Chain A
Amino acid sequence: MKSVVVFKWAIDPRDIRVNADGSVDWSAVSPWVGDDDYLAVQVACSASGQEGEVTGLTLAGGDVAFAAARGAQRTVAIEGLPATADAMTVAKALAEAIHSFGDVDVVVIGDSAWEPSVPVMLGGLLGWTTVMAVDEAKFEGGKLHVTRRFGTGTQELCVSGPIVLGVAAKREEENKPGMRAVITARKKPVTTIQADELMKESVPAFTLHSTHLPEATPSRLFDGEDPDGAVSQLVQALQADGVF
């Protein structure tokens, strides 16, 4: 199986600066390694099987050895896409890059809480079966078996045909690659593609009209030095405000 794992593609919202007048400064944002990226690489490697091939795909510059250090055979970096590109533009660039790779069986991407639109838009633009909340995937008996979270438990799916998997890590990466693995990974091939080579057509987009601060919801705090008094005040406030 040929897999593509998308990593280091989403911007961290904590890098977005909001000024006192409600204007938003995006100048400090750039694609960053997300909490789910390590799991995405693991799932891509597992889905490919032992004879398979994994390609890392990223929107980031600089050190792009993340996927290679965790098992990807090569990396492709898309250059020239603004860090502030909207979800449809990001998804379109990724989809066009994946199309250029030829036959791909599985695309794995972190189902990032930072940008929930991109993984499903990627699936929609590729026109492939798309499953989110994935924990693991295995290629066995000629088929791909996917385990995803379902209600309070899990569900095992059997899939044929190309698929996009959105993974969400439950915990932090436990066995991070050491320095030797990272140095070795940097020797694996890295190819760059220019975004304007991929984006031949314009994509539907929003126009920014304005920004402002959210309506303030000040906290009502009570001094617990007198527990009975504080609890009484809290309950009265909750009842008066219709919270119950």
Chain B
Amino acid sequence: MNNDSWIIVADDVPAGSLSLIARGLGGRVTAVVVGSRERAEAAAVTGVDEVIWYAANEEIPVEAWTECIAKAAEKARPRVILAANMPMARVFVGAAAARLGAAVTSSVMAVMLEEGRVIVKRSVAEGRAVEVLEAEGFVAGMIIEGAEEEEASSVSAKITAVTDYMPENNIKVEATHVETGSADLSSAERVVSVGAGIGSKDKIELVRQLADAFHAEISCSLPLCDNYRWFDHSRVVGSSTQRISPRIYLAVGISGQPQHMMGVRGARTIIAVNNDPEAPIFGKCNYGIIGDLNKILPVLTTALAKI
């Protein structure tokens, strides 16, 4: 068996972490990209050896390429297939893994080869433990959210456009609706998030000023949408709403309940500001200030504006 790997990119998330983990196997890394030329070019500078690009257009949903990619995987037989935990990329992992007869897992932190076996480290129990798994054959999986990213490489891998396959014709796009005014938190590098600890609606202005100074998007916990109606649903982060992976997540007045924190497991750095020293978030953040939000936020806004 070879020690080559595929990373599948079908959503607009950085592919650097996928490439970094896949390179741990020591073999050739191929990025299989479905989507725009821009997406293929972004993948090409993540340290992969080559890019195979399936061009998708507005009328054909990405999933129409599933059978093509499954067949390609069956032909190329990569030892490991990885993707981000995103809706479209995962579909390709499922199809390719079924075709190869791969062992499948999620929350992958690292892969390596040892005496012909693939060793996978993955996070379990909501990050409370790490499992080390072994597989004799093929492996497929989704990587952990918030995995380490690398700076883009100065070398761009060759991009080969696939032209001799046709997508499936049983699924078509009827309409695409872009919600204007909705938050696009999925790609935000910086997010300031507010919870019920903010106290009152008029204090939200302090959070907006902080977010503006920090060039950050704003998100909130579920009660601020469903209970208080202070934000629309596109701003809610949590296990049952949307999960995000910003580089910096600044939580203001958020207690740190598991349902909310599941939504930001992918954040690289979590900073918390809360007046309750017993708030669970102080056990889950990287940095924190314990104190009165009304006094701290204006000072923090001024300081972050200078960064």
From the candidates B104, B105, B130, B182, name the one contacting A153 in the complex (CB within 8 A).
B182
Structural contact, A209 and B289, CB atoms closer than 8 A: no
Residues of B contacting A178 in the complex (Cβ-Cβ under 8 angstroms): none
- The answer to whether the Cβ of B152 comes within 8 Å of any Cβ in the partner chain is no
Q: A13-B124, A129-B170 are in contact. Are A237 and B103 (CB under 8 A)?
A: no
Which range contains the number of B residues in contact with the other chain? 35 or more
Which residues from chain B sit less than 8 Å from chain A, CB to CB?
12, 61, 63, 66, 70, 85, 87-88, 90-91, 93-99, 101-106, 119-120, 123-135, 137-139, 141-142, 168, 170-179, 182-184, 186, 222, 226, 233-234, 236, 239-241, 243, 248, 258, 262, 269, 271, 273, 275, 282-292, 295-296, 299-300, 303-304, 307
**Can you give 27 contacting A-B residue pairs, CB < 8 Å?**
A24-B129, A86-B104, A88-B97, A113-B243, A113-B262, A117-B142, A124-B96, A125-B98, A129-B63, A132-B88, A149-B87, A151-B12, A152-B178, A155-B175, A155-B176, A159-B171, A160-B170, A172-B240, A206-B133, A208-B132, A211-B130, A219-B283, A221-B287, A231-B289, A234-B271, A234-B300, A244-B307
Please count the residue pairs between chain A and chain B whose beta carbons lie under 8 angstroms apart in the complex: 259
Complex Cα spacing A155 to B87, Å: 13
Complex Cα spacing A119 to B104, Å: 12
Structural contact, A214 and B91, CB atoms closer than 8 A: no
Report A157-194 residues with CB < 8 Å from chain B CB.
Answer: 157-161, 166, 168-172
Complex Cα spacing A71 to B51, Å: 47
Q: A157-B173, A231-B303 are in contact. Are A86 and B285 (CB under 8 A)?
A: no
Q: A130-B91, A150-B176, A207-B134 are in contact. Are A231 and B128 (CB under 8 A)?
A: no
Q: A113-B243, A209-B133 are in contact. Are A227 and B283 (CB under 8 A)?
A: no
Q: A88-B103, A113-B239, A121-B94 are in contact. Are A227 and B291 (CB under 8 A)?
A: yes
Considering the complex of A and B, which 10 residue pairs feature the smallest CB-CB distances, nearest first? A224-B291, A120-B94, A124-B98, A124-B94, A132-B87, A206-B133, A133-B87, A16-B125, A153-B179, A156-B174
Whole-angstrom distance between the Cβ of A169 and the nearest chain B Cβ = 6
From the candidates A113, A117, A172, A230, name the one contacting B291 in the complex (CB within 8 A).
A230
Structural contact, A220 and B288, CB atoms closer than 8 A: yes
From the candidates A125, A205, A206, name the one contacting B120 in the complex (CB within 8 A).
A206
Structural contact, B304 and A171, CB atoms closer than 8 A: no
Residues of B contacting A198 in the complex (Cβ-Cβ under 8 angstroms): none
- The answer to whether the Cβ of A122 comes within 8 Å of any Cβ in the partner chain is yes
Structural contact, A219 and B132, CB atoms closer than 8 A: no
Which range contains the number of A residues in contact with the other chain? 35 or more
| Chain B, Cβ-Cβ closest to A24 | B129
Whole-angstrom distance between the Cβ of A40 and the nearest chain B Cβ = 13
Complex Cα spacing A172 to B236, Å: 13
